[in-house]
Structure 1
Amino acid sequence: MKKQIIAVAGLALALTACGKEGGGTTASAPAAKPGEKPAVCLVMKSLANEFFQQMQKGAEEHAAKRGDLTLQVTGIQNETDIDNQVAAVEKCVTQGAKAVVIAPADSRALIAPLKRAVDAGVKVVNIDVQLEEAAMKSAGIADKVPFVGPDNRDGAKQSGMVLAKELGKDAEVIILEGNPGAANAAQRKAGFEDAIKEGGLKLVDSKTAHWETDEAHTVFGNLLSAHPTIKGVLAANDNMALGALKAIEEQGKKGQIKVAAFDNIPAIQQYVKDGSVVSTLDQFGAQQASYGIDFAMKMIGGENFSGWQKTEIKLITKDNVG
């Protein structure tokens, strides 16, 4: 299957937390009744993340427009609640879903329950955060689970290069990382490091804030106190950028420290407009889910897909925000 470049339009999602992880072998999903619409389960990440709230809205609108499936939306309370995301996958299978479209909170921890889903005859489509390829191969499902998502490293580099041009060589910067176990967190950090190297910036520290605004506010506030001469921060998502902006304002450094970010959620756009955030990166989350649903339905219909189905990204700056 050759790669596809998929044009997309932005948004994201919200979710409902499910029970706890089940043990043992996953039972086969119940057979569909004649004429019954197949159930597709969309499993997302944090309820508090505006990106996923937009994703949910877009997915529901897309499912309603298609009219040939029943969409079940679920997720977790925060970005590190991996156990409940595992449980959500198990629940989708036991409730008879024919496909699971998942944005995994961790690139390795979700492989075991997804293998159980595949073994039960459920189709699986990976979106947003890529599952670890080596672990997928080891589990025997690499050729059964396509990844529908963006080039996170390239997107982070694009965003970071805007900051590098804004600050100039030798400016001190900090990276706020996403979840350590998530592939997109590692890819975005690598993209930021590419921009730092190419732009001649000086990286003085790099810490995770697990994608969360409140944690980023605390983490970056401490980093700013420890490194008072920094000029920029590269945040791996807009939620963490918002936390950093709050810390910057509290320490009286508004306008002195610039931010590069990733996601282009509505809440960040006012800061792009006023120049506090020099760049963010739209990865069109709503359409990722919509295309994931489309692939899932094709797979339910008997088609096979694997590998990376690449989706569009777009650099957002003051010149094109909104």
Structure 2
Amino acid sequence: MKKTLITLGLAALLSTSAFAEKVQVGVVMKSLANEFWKTVEIGAKEYADKNKDVFEMEAIGLKDESDVDTQINTLESFITKQKDIIAVAPSNSVALIPSIKRALDAGIIVVNFDVRLDKKASQQMGLPDDFLFVGPNNEQGAYEVGDFLAKSLPKNAKVFIIEGNPGAENAIERKRGFMKVVEENQLNLLASRTAHWETEEANTVMTNLLTKYPDVQGVMCANDSMVLGVVKAIEAAGKSGQIKVVGFDNIAPVQDLMKKGKVLASEDFFGKDLAVNAIKTGLRIHSGEKLSGWVKTPVKLVTAEDLKK
């Protein structure tokens, strides 16, 4: 698959005559109940404000991570409004493909970001084999933070995996990274359960798992919202400090937990820049560049020790 590097500086691009009229940009986000996506929204709005002479942005988020219908309706609305660019982070890697195909057929630039569309379903529904994706290597990120946890545990340590939405490609990729950690480090995986990215569901799942497996030693969470629920369950069980937890997103509340010694690490993939990178990529295409394949965005392990520096 072709890989394209993001060009961070767009000053020259934004000054060209291609932007004589304001470009209309629609952004389809995920749950704004999630601290991470609040950060994504803030970053997008700040970037739009700084470039308000160049483009106008309409950004729509969800009430929860499973609200696929709102994403579909938002896409259809953006098509009707004849947006020039649509940046979409699908909550389900298959369900949005028909609407995305309609947008492309209408001549709209579509940038898939954060969660990659399902490749097989995309091909079956007529999308290009190298359809543009802007986002991180989720498997690599999950492996990195999971391996950090594994190296802090004894051999054959007992662990849980708390998964994201099973219909989302990033959840699949992150679980794959965690499973690689389990296999390479000979961890004893007691259970792997989904909490659909949600804090309260993760709290319920972890509470039930702790009842069945009270001797668990580590937990790998596919996002930080679920970390919050897991830590709450650990505290309620009177096991603070006895179970090591890692996550993915590096949101501020989890940074606070890291500073308190309640979370070991989180994988950062720079939420404030996530939608911004997708918008920048769309603007480059609108100006005449030909881009396809994977535009990689960074991931970075953040530990409690890092936050002390």
- Superposed pair shares fold, TM > 0.5: yes
**TM-score, scaled to structure 1:** 0.88
Write the letter of the residue equivalent to 2:50.
K
Within the candidate set 152, 155, 161, 1:166 is matched to: 152
Q: Secondary structure at the match of 2:159?
A: strand
Within the candidate set 47, 51, 55, 2:36 is matched to: 51
Write the letter of the residue equivalent to 1:192.
F
The Cα shift of 1:301 comes to 2.4
Query: Residue in 1 aligned with 2:60?
Result: 74
Query: Residue in 1 aligned with 2:135?
Result: 149
The Cα shift of 1:316 comes to 0.4
The Cα shift of 1:168 comes to 1.6
Contact 2:6 2:281 (8 Å CA) reproduced:
no
Query: Residue in 2 aligned with 1:3?
Result: 3
Alignment of 1:28-43 (within 5 A): 35-43=20-28
Alignment of 1:11-30 (within 5 A): none
- The answer to whether residue 299 in structure 2 is matched with residue 313 in structure 1 is yes
Write the letter of the residue equivalent to 1:64.
D
Q: Secondary structure at the match of 1:79?
A: coil
C-alpha distance in 2 between matches for 1:278 and 1:108: 34
Give the aligned CA root-mean-square deviation in angstroms. 1.7
Deviations 1:247-300 (A, max 9, x none): 000010001111011000011001112222111000012212111101111222
Contact 1:156 1:281 (8 Å CA) reproduced:
yes
C-alpha distance in 1 between matches for 2:222 and 2:263: 13
Contact 1:130 1:183 (8 Å CA) reproduced:
yes
Within the candidate set 153, 165, 181, 1:195 is matched to: 181
**TM-score, scaled to structure 2:** 0.92
The Cα shift of 1:140 comes to 2.0
The Cα shift of 1:64 comes to 2.1
Contact 1:143 1:305 (8 Å CA) reproduced:
no
Structure 2 unaligned regions, length at least 5: 9-18
- Residues paired across the two proteins, number: 297
After the TM superposition, list the runs of 4 or more consecutive aligned residues in structure 1 that deviate by more than 4 angstroms. Answer: 5-8
Query: Residue in 2 aligned with 1:181?
Result: 167
The Cα shift of 1:35 comes to 4.6
Write the letter of the residue equivalent to 1:232.
G
The Cα shift of 1:144 comes to 7.3
Structure 1 unaligned regions, length at least 5: 9-33
Within the candidate set 245, 248, 272, 2:234 is matched to: 248
Query: Residue in 2 aligned with 1:87?
Result: 73
Contact 1:7 1:311 (8 Å CA) reproduced:
no
TM-aligned CA distance change 1:270 to 1:195, over 3 Å: same
Taking only the aligned residue pairs, the percentage that are identical comes to: 46
The Cα shift of 1:5 comes to 4.2
Contact 1:177 1:207 (8 Å CA) reproduced:
yes
Alignment of 1:54-133 (within 5 A): 54-67=39-52, 68-133=54-119
Deviations 1:119-175 (A, max 9, x none): 111110011101111222222222574101000001001101111111121111010
TM-aligned CA distance change 1:73 to 1:207, over 3 Å: same
Deviations 1:58-99 (A, max 9, x none): 111112223300011102110001011100111111122111
